[in-house]
Amino acid sequence: MPSAKRLIYSLVGLIILLILLFINQWIFNNWFNISYFDWYLQEGALIGAATAGVSMVWGDMREHTGLISANPWNYLGSYLQLVGLPIFVFGTHLKRNEGKTPPASIFDVFVTIIFGLFLCAILLIWLVVAVPLQYFVYLICGAPGRLTSNSQRQAVARLELSRLEVKEISKGDVISDGWWNASITDKPVTITSLFSSLFFLIAQPLLG
C-alpha cells in the first residue's frame, strides 16, 4: 500500500476512534453520571486482563500483532476480526453434516444459542466502549510487544540439575531438545495486556 494511502487510512481510523471516544464520554456523562475516562481509569486493569483472556481463548489470536498496532486502521480491523471470530465459531458448531453428525440435544442447542447471543452482545459492547480508549493505552504499553515481535533474536532456556541456563539464538534457528523458547515474541498481545494492567494499577492511586 503506498505511503499516502496508508496515511489516509490511519487518519480515518484515528477519526473513528476519536468519534467513539466522544460518544462514550457523552453517554457516560448523561446516562451514568460519570466521566468515561474516570470509569476507564478504574476498570483499565480488568479490561487489559479481559483482552488477554479473549485473545488466548481463540487460539493464535494472542500472536496477532494487529491487536496492539500503532496504526489506528489496522488496530480497528484487528479487533473486528477478534469479535467476528467467536461469532463465526458459534455459528459453525450449530451446523450439522447430514447423516454424519449425531442429533444434538434441543436443550444444548437452546442454551448454546443463548450463550452465543450473550457473548456476541458483550463483545460488541466491549468493541465500542473499551477498544477505542484502549488504543491510546496500547500505543504506549504495546511498544515492547511490537518491538519483540519484529526482533530477529530469541532467548532459550533449560533447567540442568536445578540450574537455569539461558542463551541467545537467531529467531529462525531450531531449538535444541531440552530447551524452550523463553522469549515473549510469540505472545505480544498477552505481554501488552500485562503491561496495561500494571500501568493502571500504578496510575489509579496517582490519578484517582
pTM score above 0.85 = no
Can you give the three-state secondary structure of 103-171, one letter per residue?
Answer: CCCHHHHHHHHHHHHHHHHHHHHHHHHCHHHHHHHHHHHCHHHHHHHCCCEEEEEEEECCEEEEEEEEC
- Domains of the chain by residue range: 3-151+186-207
CB-based contacts of 11: which residues, under 8 Å, 6+ apart?
Answer: none
CB-based contacts of 72: which residues, under 8 Å, 6+ apart?
Answer: 10, 12, 13, 14, 16, 17, 135
Q: If you count DSSP H runs as helices and E runs as strands, how many of each does the chain have, helices first? A: 7, 3
CB-based contacts of 46: which residues, under 8 Å, 6+ apart?
Answer: 197
Taking only the tens place, the pLDDT of each residue in 178-194 is 888 887 777 788 888 88
Percent of the chain with pLDDT over 70: 92
Taking only the tens place, the pLDDT of each residue in 140-153 is 999 998 988 888 88
pLDDT tens-digit profile, the chain (208 residues): 567 888 899 999 999 999 999 999 999 999 999 999 999 998 888 888 887 777 666 666 666 888 899 999 999 999 898 888 878 887 787 777 666 667 778 888 888 889 888 888 888 898 999 999 999 999 999 999 898 888 888 888 998 878 999 989 888 888 888 888 887 777 788 888 889 988 888 887 777 6
- Assigned C-alpha cell, 195: 503491561
